[in-house]
Structure 1
Amino acid sequence: MRVLLSPDKFAGTLSAPEVVAAVSQGWRDVAPGDELLARPLADGGPGFLEVLAAALDGRRIPVRTVDPLGRPVAGEVFVTGDTAYVESAQACGLHLLTAAERDPRATTSYGLGLLVAAAVESGARRVVVGLGGSATNDAGAGMLAALGAAAVDGAGLVLPYGGAALTAVAGLTGAPRLRAVELVAATDVDNPLLGLHGASNVYGPQKGATKADVLLLDSALERFAQVLERDLPSCPPGLAQLPGAGAAGGLGAALLALGGRCESGIGLVSRLIELPQALAGCDLVITGEGAFDHQSLRGKVVAGVAGAARDLGLPCVVLAGRVSAGRREAAAAGVTEAYSLVEHFGDEQAALTRPAEGLRELAARLARQWSRS
């Protein structure tokens, strides 16, 4: 039996490699003779760099940066060949803030700019920025400031951190220092920057925005998008409505304005870790994430893995902290079965505090069911 293990992280509890380790142990306890292939995945959000660094030869460069409130935090750049990879969540991540600190009116992407600057200084010719899990809603204004192009008001004064301050934006001062690198935004979010499906409306409430905040932020980002189109020669027309512009609180828009392009995060990582080749010789695929819900089936890791397995006629099992996706929807996406830690333990708190134990037990159950050993 050849089993491919290709999960995403379980947000807030286990990284993708830790999920693989727990599932591997449970399976081997029952069927030690089976071959297990480990291919942990990420879609551009938290864990993006860890997954790539585990699969590829390269060097990890530590970088001192700041979190969404401007406090010092450790980050890194992963360089392989002429490409540098950066994870926005290391500087902009929602996990860096307590629930009480979440305020997209004030949070900044400045720390991501420091990471991108370090990637540029590494000598890379291409910089890939993984987008996801952000606490910011400033359309990359902070990132641009760190790169040398700060947003200013009508008097020429640099604006403070946060999306709300962009209600007063009148222009940019300076120019981005990028040394002609190619920029790629790795994301599986295709939301535009503005409107009902935009960054503020869809993701703002998850970051602490009230209904009034959402209206304020959407208006501020509209004004900033107009400034970007006017002041950055590399900015494409119609920026605010381009697919992916709304990713990570509008960081997608800033990267597009800098002449970058969007690429599927799950597609990029799958290619780099050679997922298609691993799938080709397998009998069973196991994937998973913290919450398997309707959003999982729209371009996230589980959907990518299950769809690839389906296309090859392979069964695919999902392990998750919680399962709420409809069975019919999941089956259409290529999911054969789905198992929940909450259901396994019969208790949500146990699922949160003992995820590795639960995954080992579920994997042992799967081995008894599926293995030919």
Structure 2
Amino acid sequence: MRVLIAPGHFSGTLTAGEAARAVADGWRTRAPGDELDLAPVADGGTGFVDVLHAALGGDLVALAVRDPSGGTVPAAVLLAGDTAYVESAQACAPGPGDPARAEAATSYGVGELVAAAVATGARRVVVGVGASAATDGGAGLLAALGARADRALDGGPAALAGVGEVDLSAARAAVAGVELVVAHDVPIPLTGLFGTTKAAGVERGIAEERVPAVDGLLEGWAAAAGRRTSLEPGAGAGGGVGFGLLLLGAAGVPGVDLVLDALGLEDRARAADLVVTGEGRLDFASRAGKAPHGVAQVATRAVRPCVVVAGEVLVGTREMRTMGVETAYSVVDVAGREAALAEPYDALARTAARVARAWSR
């Protein structure tokens, strides 16, 4: 039997590559004769550059950029042909939830990454936009590229209070002549009921009672910088990094689609008998551009069954079927929550062994 193993990352525990290897190790304990094709995937968030580097080759240019709190963090630009790829999560990765720090967190480092990518001479710069500690509407990113305003743009959403005048001319000049692409993980707008603060503000450390106020700050920022652009799909990705890039003329695409095309996943799915994908948590948000949904759609087009292995499964059978998923297995249910967190690789492998017992011929 031929099995395509194409998981995304398991947040905080396993990279996509580690998850793929864990599933393969567990599968082999039950079905050692099966042919396994490992294809770790990403959706624009964490692991975007690593997955593309494995798929496309190319050269990694290492650098250090500002982190959301003003320190420094290592990051990289991937050069493949005339295209440079960067990942917002490398510069702006989520950390411990601290309400005070969350409202001051900046995406400035993402702008430094974009500037470094442009400086390589690449004709096209693709920015994977997903997991983020900042909810600043991309203001910090724009500041790093030269934008100016009547308020500080690199002080997080709190610093945007009362912003009225924004000058993006220097930032636009900094990327002139370069094709910009936003590879977003979720196609949400910047503000409102389905915006970035409502969707993930609490996860970034914003106090729940402060969510409406922070959303209001982003509303003011959007009014000053480009209200119409703030409504575009992907403007809210990465805490609004998508918005900052769209203001510079970037085109938005689902990150998972870009990655799956680079991996040639549709042809690989047609060559398989079963597709296995996964992520840390399968929930309603998984239907909005996340890795398992993208993989399941590929499996559907290839007319192959798709099974999900997730840390937790928080959707029912009906929701799974609308995603193109036959069934899903929870690591927490199989191995227990303590083991899933303390020994995530082994716990995922044990769960994959159970899947193999049920699905392998």
TM-score of the two chains, using structure 1 as the length reference: 0.91
Partner secondary structure for residue 313 of structure 1: coil
Report the Cα offset of residue 211 of structure 1: 4.8
1:314-325 mapped onto 2 (5 Å cutoff): 314-325=304-315
**Contact 1:75/1:91 (CA < 8 Å) preserved in 2?**
yes
Which amino acid is the alignment partner of residue 121 of structure 1? A
* Cα distance in 1 for residues equivalent to 2:43 and 2:73: 23
* Cα distance in 2 for residues equivalent to 1:188 and 1:17: 18
Give the match for residue 53 of structure 1.
53
272-281 or 291-300, which moves further after superposition? 291-300
1:218-268 deviation per Cα after TM superposition (whole angstroms, max 9, x unaligned): 232222223324xxxxxxx71222222111111111111101111011100
Partner secondary structure for residue 202 of structure 2: helix
Give the match for residue 200 of structure 1.
197
1:283 aligns with 2:273: yes
Which amino acid is the alignment partner of residue 290 of structure 2? K
Report the Cα offset of residue 140 of structure 1: 0.9
1:326 aligns with 2:316: yes
**Contact 1:92/1:111 (CA < 8 Å) preserved in 2?**
yes
1:48-105 deviation per Cα after TM superposition (whole angstroms, max 9, x unaligned): 11111111120001011121101111011111011111100111111xx223367432
Give the match for residue 118 of structure 1.
116
217-226 or 18-27, which moves further after superposition? 217-226
Report the Cα offset of residue 274 of structure 1: 0.6
* Cα distance in 2 for residues equivalent to 1:89 and 1:116: 13
Give the match for residue 160 of structure 2.
166
* Cα distance in 2 for residues equivalent to 1:322 and 1:28: 23
Aligned residues: 358
Which among 230, 246, 250 is matched to residue 240 of structure 2? 250
Which among 343, 346, 352 is matched to residue 357 of structure 1? 346
Report the Cα offset of residue 185 of structure 1: 0.7
Report the Cα offset of residue 284 of structure 1: 0.7
Shift in CA distance, 107/362, structure 1 to aligned 2, threshold 3 Å: same
Which amino acid is the alignment partner of residue 65 of structure 1? V
Which among 175, 184, 209 is matched to residue 170 of structure 2? 175
1:90-101 mapped onto 2 (5 Å cutoff): 90-94=90-94, 97-100=95-98
What do you get for the CA RMSD once the two structures are aligned?
Answer: 1.8
Give the match for residue 210 of structure 1.
207
Give the match for residue 232 of structure 1.
none
Give the match for residue 183 of structure 2.
186
Report the Cα offset of residue 368 of structure 1: 3.1
**Contact 1:159/1:169 (CA < 8 Å) preserved in 2?**
no
1:307-348 deviation per Cα after TM superposition (whole angstroms, max 9, x unaligned): 221233312111111111111111232212211111112x21
1:32-54 deviation per Cα after TM superposition (whole angstroms, max 9, x unaligned): 33211111100000111111111
Partner secondary structure for residue 352 of structure 2: helix
Give the match for residue 310 of structure 1.
300
Give the match for residue 147 of structure 2.
149
Report the Cα offset of residue 366 of structure 1: 2.8
1:224 aligns with 2:221: yes
Report the Cα offset of residue 12 of structure 1: 0.5
